[in-house]
Amino acid sequence: MSGFTPLSATLGGVLIGLSASLLLWTNGRIAGISGIVAGAVVPSAVDKAWRGLFLLGLLTGTAGWFLLVDNGFGVRSADPWLLWPAGFLVGVGTRMGSGCTSGHGVCGIARLSPRSLIATLIFFSFGLLTVFVIRHLLQFPATA
């Protein structure tokens, strides 16, 4: 079921790093997805063009990967009534934490930000805790 290979992981990491660096070098902006999305939906944002293009690149890159590469991940179905609240909680959490895993984990740690290191440790700790509770204590199945 896994499409993971060291080569694809390395290539993906390099592309993420290059895109984050390019955005910082050309626009002086951090590639934090929650901040980019928030700025794209606010009516008074003057820099919607680059935000829209960045988000379009994320969507088309993902779609292209799934269309062109047999990645072996498969498609999982989930109840929309679970996905909407989960997405909402992630959005609230990123606003409360002043950033998301891309802003803190990729860009902040690369800039040696102590705040981002702490935030990323918290993200991952709670992710691990959530998986443990859901899979082992509540015994939900691994696949939908």
Q: For every one of its 144 residues, what pLDDT tens digit does the chain have, with 9 covering 90 and above? A: 456 678 878 988 898 899 899 999 998 888 888 888 888 887 666 788 888 888 999 889 888 877 777 555 555 666 777 778 888 888 788 878 788 888 888 888 888 999 999 988 998 898 899 889 988 888 876 654
Write down the pLDDT at residue 1.
41
Write down the pLDDT at residue 144.
47
* pTM of the shown model: 0.71
Can you tell me the distance from the alpha carbon of 37 to that of 33, in angstroms, rounded to the nearest whole number? Answer: 6
Write down the pLDDT at residue 96.
80
Q: What is the dihedral of CA 15, 18, 24, 27, to 10 degrees?
A: -80
**Cα atoms in the 13 Å half-sphere on the side-chain side of 91:** 9
Write down the pLDDT at residue 130.
87
Where do the domains of the chain lie? Answer: 6-137
Write down the pLDDT at residue 25.
92
Which of 119, 76, 113 has its CA nearest to residue 94? 119
